Structure 1
Amino acid sequence: MRKGILIAGTSVVLMTSLAACGDSSAGGDDAGGGAKKPKIGVILPDSKSSARWEDADRPLLTAAFKAAGVDYDIQNAEGDKQAFQTIADQMITKGVNVLVIVNLDSGTGKAVLSKAKSQGVATIDYDRLTLGGSAQYYVSFDNTAVGKLQGEGLGKCLADLNAKKPVVAELNGSPTDNNATLFAQGYDGVLNPKYASGEYRKGPNQSVPDWDNAQAGTIFEQMLTSEPRIGGVLAANDGLGNAAIAVLRKNHRNGQVPVTGQDATVQGLQNILAGEQCMTVYKAVKKEADATAALAVSLAKGRKGTTNATVHDPEGKRDVPAVLETPVAVYQDNVKDVVADGYVTTADLCTGKYAALCTKYGVK
């Protein structure tokens, strides 16, 4: 079970141009330094929990910053909290006037954001909200909606199998990631009524520290040992889902137990084509990266930022101006849409045994 996590809900408002106030807590129209040469720092969290950070976010942000003609520095903390803080200090020392972070946890994120604020550096929380932090903006997806799609997707796949009172296991994301809390809020909102009615039976439910896929495999193996009747797995992302699928393969139950995911990774999409994964959630990272880059460039040049939502931070007791994009559920019949959108290539996806499956499901 998730412990000690505060839930940050979202409320979408009319498109609004929001400028940070002109005091030390926000930075004003000169947020990010105005007169300073625009330079943007980005700290990614790791390359282990999800392939997206290096395969998608880094190249997309790089392209957007190059197109805008601004200096930038993108680094990856590789899951190391001390390295995360060191990178931030170095970026601030080297003169970034906007800092974009994907926090490893809210504690580390808060410390980095506070340091940036004290140095007059504008800040953006990217993908993950830092609870109790001071980021001026937040760019992500509607993460409760992501979880809802996962819960609904698992329900669809269980119905397709005509499952009777299936035992559902939940592999939640990291307990230090507020997004994992929001995903769970979304899918539990779908699953809990089914548990209450007796349509589904609630099985093992555990969070995976740091989204670590190896730990997820160990955890799920223990789940399956303690409850061999597991008939469905709500896995919070494709990496956790693949860890569960590997265990199911060892037990010759792959394809018999629906498993969810998120991030539309090549591995996740291949598992879907093969019938071993029920669905994934596609988050068009290009939209998220482009929105973040546009906002960061505006701040770096002393301009206003445009948002379409606010996200409530209950720990900081404040509403954070945000840009939220819309997630999409992906099943076998619309894997092709992810390829058509340019997120993955047929060369990467349709290799070996997956080539015939790509042809079967219209992936071109």
Structure 2
Amino acid sequence: MNTRMRRAAVAVAATAMAVSLAACGSAKQAEGTNEETKSSGSATGDAVKIGLLLPENQTARYEKFDQPLIEKKVKELTGGKGEVVYANAKQDATVQNSQVDAMITNKVDVLIIDAVDSKAIAGSVKKAKDAGIPVVAYDRLAEGPIDAYTSFDNEEVGRVQGKALLEALGDKAKSGQIVMMNGSVTDPNAALFKKGAHSQLDGKVTVGKEYDTKEWKPENANGNMEAAISALGKDKIVGVYSANDGMAGGIITALKSAGVSPLPPVTGQDAELAGVQRIVAGEQFMSVYKPYAPEAEAAAAMAVALAKGEKLDSIAKSKVDSPTTQGVPSVLVPVVSLTKANIKDTVVKDGVYTVEEICAGKYAADCAKVGLK
């Protein structure tokens, strides 16, 4: 691991330790501010009931990592007495709003919401607040009177992707055009990734085509990439900015189908198993590894604290402004650029995947070439 990677890993570990050791605390707040509010958190002792609403199951992370990590941390913080009530909206904002109604009826003490649509959820967030239920915005900065927020530095994610793409292109950066495959416009993180990437790429590459990809779906990215190849010509594309790994898979399929060889460098995000395997195989240049444990543990710690009516000062060291709420207590987790060079020191070391999982089947020979064993 190089010095930069080692520092990033130390920062992640420190964040996780801070969350684990934090005495759970909370916030009292009113709509539109995080300064002073009516009392929130009605649970008695450790017997808290926390509603967890995740946005979709197209991306592997949510049900493989986020859900079990949050459930585990809630149990740990409450001596096994806390309960997590889970629902997945499967990328439907209307369904997620109905799920909030159900959670209110179920009388949860706190809601953790990863919004399908950050704007469409605002009314439901207010309903929860009016019912005395604090809301923790998870991974995406939801609108409405949220009480806390945890995510990654999302502009930094885009910067990391943009820097990596420039590194991969080298002196070929101006020799052709790149395609930018951004995420869904309903996800506020997508705009931040896009902004961060443009801050690195603008003036250094020529963007031939740029798309905001509906619902982050790989098949939509595949269709966009096919259109870009048709418009620009397969020999004119020198690189592809893909905002996440799922879309990178659809992009790479389109490039292969068009007979593009060698494949241009393609970025990604989320360190999905398929993405890591494509990196090992040389089909995808990089991904952004976002350690889910610190993010999930922060959400659980803030939720338990809010349920008990405690303060968040010992957990949330940052404040973030949403379009509707100022000074939201926040935990922002650092990210790492994942390439062939540091797979063992990141996702393997942290127990996200085993070498056997990554190197299964046809990837065994590729793993041997990069020394992954």
Instruction: Say whether the fold is shared (TM-score over 0.5).
Output: yes
Seen in structure 2, the aligned counterparts of structure 1 residues 261 and 23 have a Cα distance that, compared at 3 Å, is closer
CA contact (8 A) 1:30 1:299 kept: no
Distance in 2 (alpha carbons) for counterparts of 1:87 and 1:254: 46
Residue identity in the other structure for 1:334? N
Residue identity in the other structure for 2:154? N
TM-score under structure 1 normalisation?
0.88
The correspondence of residues 212-361 of structure 1 with structure 2, limited to 5 A, is: 212-228=217-233, 229-253=236-260, 255-305=262-312, 306-313=315-322, 315-316=323-324, 318-337=326-345, 338-361=347-370
Distance in 2 (alpha carbons) for counterparts of 1:175 and 1:210: 8
Shift of 1:107: 2.8
Shift of 1:136: 0.8
CA contact (8 A) 2:26 2:305 kept: no
CA contact (8 A) 1:234 1:261 kept: yes
The answer on 1:136 being equivalent to 2:144 is: no
Distance in 2 (alpha carbons) for counterparts of 1:277 and 1:300: 43
Distance in 2 (alpha carbons) for counterparts of 1:319 and 1:39: 26
CA contact (8 A) 2:70 2:300 kept: yes
Seen in structure 2, the aligned counterparts of structure 1 residues 22 and 222 have a Cα distance that, compared at 3 Å, is closer
What is the match of residue 169 of structure 2? 158
State which of 44, 47, 57 in structure 1 corresponds to 2:66.
57
What is the match of residue 117 of structure 1? 129
Distance in 2 (alpha carbons) for counterparts of 1:317 and 1:292: 18
What do residues 132-190 of structure 1 show as CA deviations (whole Å, max 9, x unaligned)?
A: x211111000000000000001011111x755523111000001110000001110000
Shift of 1:295: 1.1
The answer on 1:207 being equivalent to 2:212 is: yes
What do residues 174-220 of structure 1 show as CA deviations (whole Å, max 9, x unaligned)?
A: 011100000011100001131xxxxx222100100111111111011
Consecutive unaligned residues of structure 2, counting only runs of 5 or more, are 1-17
Residue identity in the other structure for 1:151? G
Consecutive unaligned residues of structure 1, counting only runs of 5 or more, are 1-14, 195-199
Distance in 2 (alpha carbons) for counterparts of 1:287 and 1:233: 30
Percent identity between matched residues is 38
The answer on 1:67 being equivalent to 2:72 is: no
Residue identity in the other structure for 1:204? K
CA contact (8 A) 2:65 2:292 kept: yes
CA contact (8 A) 1:151 1:234 kept: yes
Distance in 1 (alpha carbons) for counterparts of 2:37 and 2:48: 16
Distance in 1 (alpha carbons) for counterparts of 2:232 and 2:172: 20
Distance in 2 (alpha carbons) for counterparts of 1:296 and 1:231: 45
What do residues 298-344 of structure 1 show as CA deviations (whole Å, max 9, x unaligned)?
A: 1112211121212222x326232210000000111111121111112
Does 285-294 or 344-353 show the bigger shift?
344-353
What is the match of residue 52 of structure 2? 42
Residue identity in the other structure for 1:182? L
1:170 partner SS: strand
TM-score under structure 2 normalisation?
0.86
Residue identity in the other structure for 1:280? S
Residue identity in the other structure for 2:111? L
What do residues 88-147 of structure 1 show as CA deviations (whole Å, max 9, x unaligned)?
A: 11111112110000101123221221110010001100000013x211111000000000
Aligned length: 341
CA contact (8 A) 1:173 1:236 kept: yes
1:263 partner SS: coil
What do residues 253-275 of structure 1 show as CA deviations (whole Å, max 9, x unaligned)?
A: 25431100000000100110111
2:95 partner SS: helix
CA contact (8 A) 1:336 1:362 kept: no
Shift of 1:235: 0.3
CA contact (8 A) 1:125 1:138 kept: yes
CA contact (8 A) 1:22 1:29 kept: yes
The answer on 1:191 being equivalent to 2:198 is: no
Residue identity in the other structure for 2:65? A
Shift of 1:28: 5.7
Distance in 2 (alpha carbons) for counterparts of 1:157 and 1:164: 13
Does 120-129 or 300-309 show the bigger shift?
300-309
1:329 partner SS: strand
2:180 partner SS: strand
Distance in 2 (alpha carbons) for counterparts of 1:98 and 1:255: 51
Shift of 1:362: 3.4
The correspondence of residues 5-16 of structure 1 with structure 2, limited to 5 A, is: none
